[in-house]
Amino acid sequence: MRILVTDGMDASAVAKLRADGFEVVEQFYEPDELGAALREFDVVIIRSATKIKEPQIDAAKGGKLKVIIRAGVGVDNIAVKYAEENGFVVKNTPRASSNAVAELAIALLFACARNISIAGHTMREQKWEKKAYSKGFEVSGKVVGVIGYGRIGQMVGQKCQALGASVLSYVNRHKPEGCECETMKFVSPDEVYSQSDIIILCAPGGAKPLVDAESIAKMKDGVVIINVSRGSNVDEAALLEALNSGKVKAAGIDVWLSEKDPNWELAAHPAVACMPHVGAGTKEAQKRIGAELVDIIEAL
């Protein structure tokens, strides 16, 4: 079996696959070259940089390719339904990176709470602005609205509760069992928006942003917004306007509407703590992802 790895993979997992007798090729292809290349492989493993959409799937049809695997949680860089309709199997690794993403959400929250990003920047400019950045806030005692209460959302909720916050969330379908308690309640969407001091986005991307001008208007003045989910979940222009007006006190952002051309004005805002989509970027998570990939391939 030939396996193409386009965006990198944990070295120990690659070694294990090769020891099992699989041929593993690590190479990135540009979008217009990828489809034809896929015809020569049985399995392709991608992360976030590679996109397999309708053109790549059409070009790959009739070749060797059988399985598309996303090394991570979200699969919105794959045309999943179209791939499956054309006979390809699509899989992902939903468990491996959950804790890493949840920890980054908390890191961004603390960066917002204590002005860590902008204060650190001014220190590097040799400016001592203690008075300007001594007006932070504590997470303990706050209400945190976690939108999306799957694996990552639940881990974020648990960590927030451990810090002394109470958690609100809502679900469109089935409530996860064993989550509700004195410090965690499922409520309506409007209650999450209106009652939360902090809102953390952990939901898959949808048809419209979860944070836009309409939803921001429902939020408390001085709300803090953290996005570790999908860039499409935030109307970046509306968020920037709300930061400039003071309606939103601060924002922590790891995911962007465009990764080729991020909203640099939003990233440069002094009340924004930002990262270049590194939610799963820990050694531990990458090893877990690699191990999960090996399990998937060995089970084919």
The amino acid occupying position 106 is I
DSSP 8-state assignment for residue 182 = T
- Considering the candidates 70, 103, 151, 230, report the single residue annotated as catalytic: 230
In the numeric block, which tokens belong to residue 190? 């409007």
Nearest-angstrom CA–CA distance, 176 and 166 = 17
DSSP 8-state assignment for residue 157 = H
> What is the strand order of the sheet 23-26 is part of?
23-26, 2-5, 43-46, 67-70, 89-92
Q: Are 79 and 57 in contact (CB under 8 A)?
A: yes
Q: Is 230 a catalytic residue?
A: yes
DSSP, residue by residue, 271-291: TEEE-SS-TT-SHHHHHHHHH
> Angle 11-19/283-298 helices, nearest 10 degrees?
20
Q: Are 168 and 144 in contact (CB under 8 A)?
A: yes
Q: Are 25 and 3 in contact (CB under 8 A)?
A: yes
Q: Is 214 a catalytic residue?
A: no
**Residues composing the chain:** 300
Nearest-angstrom CA–CA distance, 76 and 19 = 31
Parallel, antiparallel, or unpaired: how do β-strands 223-227 and 89-92 relate?
Answer: unpaired
DSSP, residue by residue, 96-110: TTHHHHHHHHHHHHH
226: helix, strand or coil: strand
Of 265, 262, 271, 277, the C-alpha closest to 243 is 271
- Considering the candidates 33, 214, 259, 265, report the single residue annotated as catalytic: 259
State the catalytic residues.
230, 259, 277
